[in-house]
Structure 1
Amino acid sequence: MTKYLISFPSAAMVVPAEELQAVADAAHAVVDEAKAAGVWVFGGGIDESVPPVLVDGDGTVTEVTYPQTTQLEGGYTVLDVPTREAALEWAAKIAVACRCAQEVRAFQYDPAG
């Protein structure tokens, strides 16, 4: 099995305020389905009110981030599925629930994982 990251940036999910609860309910239903199927690993949204920091090897904390990750935000799901096609099927379910397209990326194989 391979772990896949399914994600979307915050700006992609444009939902009227009165429909947010319906979107949340639909997203939670997909999460419940993934858990029942035994493919759920982790999911959640980046707390955009907490600024990112870099932690160096000596423990130094700097309130900056890598330039290429300044826009890292939105929602993330990690699933462990047997095929890329299965990951794409789950991404489609999440896209319907969240009302926005999903990006799919495979994690590299880790024999220790």
Structure 2
Amino acid sequence: MQWHSARQNVLAENVANATTPGFRSHDLAPFPAEADGLAVRRTDARHLTLTSTGPDGRPQAAGSFERTPDGNAVVLEEQMIKSAQNQMDHQMVSSLYGKSLGLLRTAIGRR
């Protein structure tokens, strides 16, 4: 969830500098799937995935070649799409976190 928060800050900075001459948009490196040694694997096509990942579970990357005459490379539409995808991914992660806490409470009998 911290990665999604940091990415939202980067995307907001891109939008804020949309009219700055020579500014190029930035993005964070994709969150590593094997951060703790456990690989995330999609075993069924009907399983949920993050909206910014492809069918194989790897991040989708789409480059932009648009430039304004002053050298600015920020495309507001792309930044808003990335921001919306990031928000949906963050909501899904926080929902899963809440559900896992509920399972733990149930397991220890506090529900």
Class of the TM-score when normalised by the shorter of the 2 chains:
under 0.3
Q: Identify the structure with the greater helix proportion.
A: 2
TM-score, length of structure 2 as denominator length: 0.24
**RCO comparison, higher one (Cα < 8 Å, 6+):** 1
Q: Identify the structure with the greater strand proportion.
A: 1
TM-score, length of structure 1 as denominator length: 0.24
Larger Rg: 2
